[in-house]
Amino acid sequence: MAVRDWTRDARWSLARLPGLGGGRVPDAPSASIRDLWPGDTGRGARLMKGELVFSGAVGPLRPGRGDAPPAQPGGQWGDPAVPPLLRAHAHGFSWLRDLRALGTDAGRLRARALVSDWLGRPPIDPAARTPPVVASRITAWLSHYDFFAATADDAFRQRLMARLMAEARTLAASVPTAQHDHRALTCLKGLLAAAVAMPEQSGFLTRAMRHIGPEIGRQVLADGSHAERSPGAQFHALRELAEIRALMQAGQIGPPLALAAALDRMSPVLRALRHGDGGLALFNGSHEENPVLVDLVLSQATRGRVIAAGMPDGGFVRILSGRSLLLVDAGPPPPAGFDGTAHAGTLSFEMSAGRERLITNCGTGMLPAWRDALRATAAHSTVSVEDTSSSEFRANTVSRRPAHVTLDHRQASGAHWLDLSHDGYVPNFGAVHHRRIYIADGGEDVRGEDSLVGRPNRFVLRFHLHPSVKAAREGDEPGSAEEGGAVLLTLPSGSTWRFRVDSGRLSVEDSIYLGGDTPRRSLQIVINVPPQPAAADAEAEEATHADDPPPAKAIRWALIRAES
């Protein structure tokens, strides 16, 4: 691995040297590349005001002021006060489609001015130089060339094409990249875009085609799930593969067999990971995404409308009964190399009723502090032990994870039974989390049982609610914490569900939801379960040396549709 990294770095350094391997810079792209995806006029209007919006974060983005000195190296393009993910989005230029969506000359001129500003003072920001961002920038500039550059003066177009050539050489030298997640597909797409637009540079195509097939084989599992175990990664990877196929069609390039097979296998899984509102489930760093865009990606990927019946390799369970849909994370966090956005949400579940979300996870955030907090088990609808997560993270990788996650799914006469467990709490607390869920035929009666088997520990059971759901304790003052009890949940449509728990200290508390574009306040049902008495502790310690498992404190709960 070290030799491969050294070789990649050496190729990258040589590619950056002026005059090496450049050839003649074309006056314009030889072929047009079409952007497949629609822009957002709302975001376009914000860009016209100098605001860039991405995943709930907002940052300044406006053309420079002539010869005025930048506030920092790279001017606005390298402002350290802007979150790294937002800076990467700015450098990637995919937001050009939002200005294009405005359909105005003012939008065209703003796009040209922003590109010119970037070209005039290329940033030293590390976020601008990563291969996925370079690839995104290449693809965006080429696919929007007719929009912002075709009618520009010769000097602008020459600067743009020279930079495109340099960027493409740099990207070619970086492939295969150090990124092992879906962003590796972004890199190959960018290199392929350069190959199609500048066919005289044959080395770009040769290098891209050498790696597309193997990369698909590494990322796409046998059941069509993406190796990151994330609905968001599933969506982004499928979108990249659909763009790769469109680029090959535009360049009359024969696609590898692996590409069509991956599109056909991945599409049913993406459909299975959608809620009734058309958005994605919130596991492992996912956002809801725009349902219209999800539909468009699926239509570009395949003609079928099949929904995956099972996702054994992806580790998710989908149960649709009547109008109720449950999605359960029944697998460990993704393996090293694919765990950059992994969450400690093992055995968490989400539930929607028709088009309305009811039980959710909290989602993911743009700011580093939010991202870290939302990766914790407490931000998911499952059990956390002694304020500790079932997995731990270090430097954007999972440093401790459950070694064993079990699933037994049975069904009969329309009803479903799930029996799940994970041992993520064994290293710290000597306890295994068991979760049982029953869904009656028709989906209006959902019952569960959560327990810790092993040494007794304090644990907390959480059910995060979608922001649109109203919650009120039945028979108690709001916010009170009594042993057991019930909570009445009201959805926007007026339908109601009653949540009951047999023991533990039940309360309704504040929560946060970052599944959409902006953070939203929400509520959560919280059941605090104290450790067992000291006598039980001794019994449990003795049982750890016996064949029989020690006693477990089980919390039984039910979520039942109430009469209208």
Which of 305, 304, 299, 330 shows the shortest CA–CA distance to 317? Answer: 330
Residue 333 has pLDDT above 80, yes or no: yes
- C-beta atoms surrounding 38 within 10 Å: 14
The answer to whether 506 and 485 are in contact (CB under 8 A) is yes
Q: What is the mean pLDDT of the chain?
A: 89
Which of 219, 244, 220 shows the shortest CA–CA distance to 139? Answer: 244
- Please tell me the predicted confidence (pLDDT) of residue 452: 93
**Cα 503 to Cα 21: distance, rounded to the nearest angstrom:** 71
**Cα 195 to Cα 175: distance, rounded to the nearest angstrom:** 14
Please write the tens of the pLDDT for every residue from 96-115.
Answer: 999 999 999 999 999 999 99
**Cα 142 to Cα 204: distance, rounded to the nearest angstrom:** 15
**Cα 552 to Cα 559: distance, rounded to the nearest angstrom:** 22
**Cα 85 to Cα 90: distance, rounded to the nearest angstrom:** 9
Please write the tens of the pLDDT for every residue from 538-552.
Answer: 444 554 444 555 556
**Cα 177 to Cα 154: distance, rounded to the nearest angstrom:** 34
Instruction: Specify the amino acid at residue 17.
Output: L
Residue 533 has pLDDT above 50, yes or no: yes
Segment 463-469 mean pLDDT: 98
Please write the tens of the pLDDT for every residue from 116-151.
Answer: 999 998 888 899 999 999 999 999 999 999 999 999
Please write the tens of the pLDDT for every residue from 392-417.
Answer: 998 789 999 999 999 999 999 999 99
What does the block give as tokens for 226?
């993406």
**Which ranges of 382-481 would DSSP assign to H, the alpha helix?**
426-429
- Please tell me the predicted confidence (pLDDT) of residue 69: 41
Of the pLDDT bands very low, low, confident and very high (cuts 50, 70, 90), residue 536 is very low
Instruction: Quote the pTM value.
Output: 0.91
Which of 422, 394, 353 shows the shortest CA–CA distance to 564? Answer: 353
Please write the tens of the pLDDT for every residue from 207-241.
Answer: 999 999 999 999 999 999 999 999 999 999 999 99
| Domains defined for the chain, CATH in brackets | 2-174 (no CATH), 316-561 (2.70.98.70)
**Lowest mean pLDDT segment, chosen from 165-169, 286-290, 441-445, 453-457:** 453-457
Residue 302 has pLDDT above 60, yes or no: yes
Burial 81-90, CB ≥16 within 10 A → b, else e: ebbebbbbbb
- Please tell me the predicted confidence (pLDDT) of residue 220: 97
Residue 449: in which H helix or E strand, if any? strand 445-454
Please write the tens of the pLDDT for every residue from 149-202.
Answer: 999 999 999 999 999 999 999 999 999 887 779 999 999 999 999 999 999 888
Beta-bridge partners for 460: 384, 528
